[in-house]
Amino acid sequence: MSSRHLLDPAYQLLADTTLPPLTHDTLHSRRVLAVQLAAQRSQTASRELDAVRVAERFVRGPAGAPYVRVLVYTPDVDAILPPVLVHMHGGGLVMGTPEAADLRNRRLAVDVGCVVVSVDYRLAPETRFCGAVEDCYAALKWVHGNADAIGVDRAKIAVGGESAGGGLAAALALLARDRNEIPVQFQLLTYPMLDDRTGSTVDAHPYAGEFVWSSASNRVGWSAALGDELGINRMSTYLPPARAESLAGLPAAFIAVGTLDLFVEENLAYANRLIAAGVPTELHVYPGAPHGFDAVGGADAAKHCRQASTAALCRALGR
């Protein structure tokens, strides 16, 4: 069923952007295209955002795994020890790099006055569940253990990401809670990819997923990460986060999603579970907005989401 009549006019160009369908056969070309698009977006940074220092680091990975590459974004701030956000990029678990969120992370570092550490986690299908989550935990552990050297406050650590990165941030919050080694203060989840059942064993509502990220794309991403376990009746502790048995004891959460996003129902369900578990949760649902809506900077929904997420992160980290 077409949702074109429900689309916010600000997203017409985004909706009309034609990319090759995501399949296992087209995955390589889609990865190359994602890198090219990221390079184009990063060229639009303002002088203010150019002042953010970016350093590439390689941190010790999980046992038996390679080192994990991270990008460290450091703004010019007055605070001696600013807070830090450990960030995960999007890409359906199968695409993307930290550079894809370069402009977003520069802006967030300036707006919040925090350091952003963006993780280049291993992608599926080359690395299956739960390698990506463990890579993110290795980066989180490095931030906490080297806070003085990085120049951040180890008592003010948040995790966040968009799409697949939002799902990994949610999984990372679960992992940090259960291992009880590193205190996480906040989780910033932008249209997070949380549930492998969406589009496989559970149908989305008839107006969801027409633009940008479809049920077919979702099946490709999750099957690459989970293989034969896609959509079966099991409870996983960390990935997908929607399968977690309990959400109690998690840090406060911010969730933003559009009504036309394939993930809208799973995001609403996760927010409800967080609230029922006693987790302070802020939820924003934007009418007429598709997946990736915040990439269109001039749209009202994108502006509001940026303001709301920045304010929530500032409150959580005491900025």
**Residues labelled as active-site residues:** 163, 261, 291
Q: Measure the CA–CA gap between 66 and 91, rounded to whole angstroms.
A: 21
Report cis status (omega within 30 of 0) of the bond before 98: no
Phi and psi at 73, nearest 5°, equal: -100, 120
CA–centroid distance for 270 within its chain: 15
Instruction: Return all residues near 273 (Cβ < 8 A) that are at least 6 apart.
Output: 247
Alpha helical stretches, state H, the chain: 12-16, 27-42, 47-50, 102-112, 131-145, 147-150, 164-179, 215-226, 264-276, 300-317
Partners of 168 in the beta sheet? none
Q: How far apart are CA 74 and CA 77, in angstroms?
A: 8
Residue type, 309: S
The β-bridge relationship of strands 84-88 and 157-162 is parallel
The CA distances from residue 147 to 75, 178, 302, 303, in Å, are 16, 21, 32, 32
Is 220 in contact with 22 (CB distance < 8 Å)?
A: yes
